[in-house]
Amino acid sequence: MTKQKSKNELLNDIQVERRRLERNLDDLTELDMTRPGAVGEWSVKDVIAHLMAWEQLFLGWYEAGLQGRIPETTPVGMSKKAIDTLNQKIFVEYRECSLNEILAEFHDSHQQVLAVVQAIPEEDLLTTGRYAWTGKLALADYVAGNTCNHYQWANTKIRRWMHTKTSQ
């Protein structure tokens, strides 16, 4: 996905990728969504929980930045091993939640992210290093990484899994 050059482009990309993901999710049964194997041991439900958790991480990072703080955990400088550990922690935290709980939280989280992004001035979104925690990136890069780019990743993984599942 290309780097967004405006707030409107970012919001559009978020909505477009979210709709694509939701269309594919609509094609799945509850059993499909809870069966392990969509991404490694994760089910589609686990992937959705993963996306929601990363949206919530972004919201926490942004809130910390508004308060002049640097969040305890951010991807800035995180190794792949540390990110894998964080992802496993997220998996364990949400794996016992029901599909309906995860879908409701996923919906609510998306609405929260949209409201926050819509309220952020465009200059704050696009200015590199505007917040201490963003390092050499713009806030928009984190928004995209935790929304549209992440949705695109998930959608690709789920589509491949669906194709593999139907061809067996």
Tokens found for residue 98: 């029901």
**What are the φ/ψ torsions at residue 128 (nearest 5 degrees)?**
-60, 135
Which has the closest alpha carbon to 53: 5, 127, 105?
105
| pLDDT number for residue 168 | 57
Average the pLDDT over 137-150 and give the result: 95
Question: Is residue 146 in a domain?
Answer: yes
Question: Is residue 126 in a domain?
Answer: yes
Question: Is residue 2 in a domain?
Answer: no
Where do runs of H (alpha helix) occur along 1-129? 7-26, 30-34, 44-66, 80-94, 99-119, 122-126
pTM for this one?
A: 0.94
Question: Is residue 155 in a domain?
Answer: yes
Question: Is residue 82 in a domain?
Answer: yes
pLDDT tens sequence across 15-47: 999 999 999 999 999 999 999 999 999 999 999
| pLDDT number for residue 1 | 60
**Cα 33 from Cα 57, distance rounded (Å):** 23
**In total, how many domains does the chain have?**
1
Residue 166: band (very low, low, confident or very high) from pLDDT cuts 50, 70, 90: low
pLDDT tens sequence across 81-131: 989 999 999 999 999 999 999 999 999 999 999 999 999 999 999 999 888
Residue 167: band (very low, low, confident or very high) from pLDDT cuts 50, 70, 90: low
Residue 154 has pLDDT above 90, yes or no: yes
Question: Is residue 52 in a domain?
Answer: yes
Decide: residue 10, CB within 10 A, 0-12 exposed, 13-18 middle, 19+ buried: buried
Domain carrying residue 53: 7-166
**What are the φ/ψ torsions at residue 146 (nearest 5 degrees)?**
-100, 0
Question: Is residue 55 in a domain?
Answer: yes
Q: What is the mean pLDDT of the chain?
A: 92
Residue 2 has pLDDT above 90, yes or no: no
Query: Which CATH number does the domain housing residue 103 bear?
Result: 1.20.120.450
| pLDDT number for residue 70 | 84
Question: Is residue 1 in a domain?
Answer: no
Average the pLDDT over 54-77 and give the result: 86
